[in-house]
Amino acid sequence: MKAMTPHLVLAPDAAIDLQMHTTFSDGTWSSEQLIDYLVHEQFGLAAITDHDRVDITAMLQHLAAEKQLPLLTAVDTKFPLMALRSIILSIHRSRLLCTSIMPIHITC
């Protein structure tokens, strides 16, 4: 699959949302409905960040690529015993960009 974001340039007023959930976790819309909405509303960039669903990232990227939507897929993972929460953004192209919300740091 070809990456949708290698040379992405966003307008200053581009619509961006980097944390959305589908019905695969606690969202209201299916992945197809959410991607259709994002395309219809002309979002410049989005990230779907379903809870604990690493298994759906490739499918989400494929759906978005079919509709020419720049999409970052992410996994919102909770660590309740340590009260930690991290988000891992994966950019399809055999690369993985890892970021985290304090208090931990993840490196790849």
Residue 10 lies in a domain: no
Q: What is the pTM of this model?
A: 0.69
**54 three-state secondary structure:** helix
Q: Among 2-6, 14-18, 99-103, which is the least confidently predicted range?
A: 99-103
Residue 11 lies in a domain: no
Residue 84 lies in a domain: no
> What is the per-residue pLDDT across 50-98, written as a single tens digit (0 to 9) for each?
888 888 888 999 999 999 999 988 888 765 544 444 444 443 333 444 4
Instruction: Specify the DSSP element, H or E, that contains 34.
Output: helix 31-40
**The dihedral sign for the CA sequence 7, 97, 42, 40:** positive
Domain containing 62: what range? Answer: 16-78
Q: How many structural domains does the chain have? A: 1
Residue 96 lies in a domain: no
Place of tokens 């819309």: 29
Residue 59 lies in a domain: yes
> What is d(CA 88, CA 12) in angstroms, rounded to the nearest whole number?
25
> What is the per-residue pLDDT across 51-63, written as a single tens digit (0 to 9) for each?
888 888 889 999 9
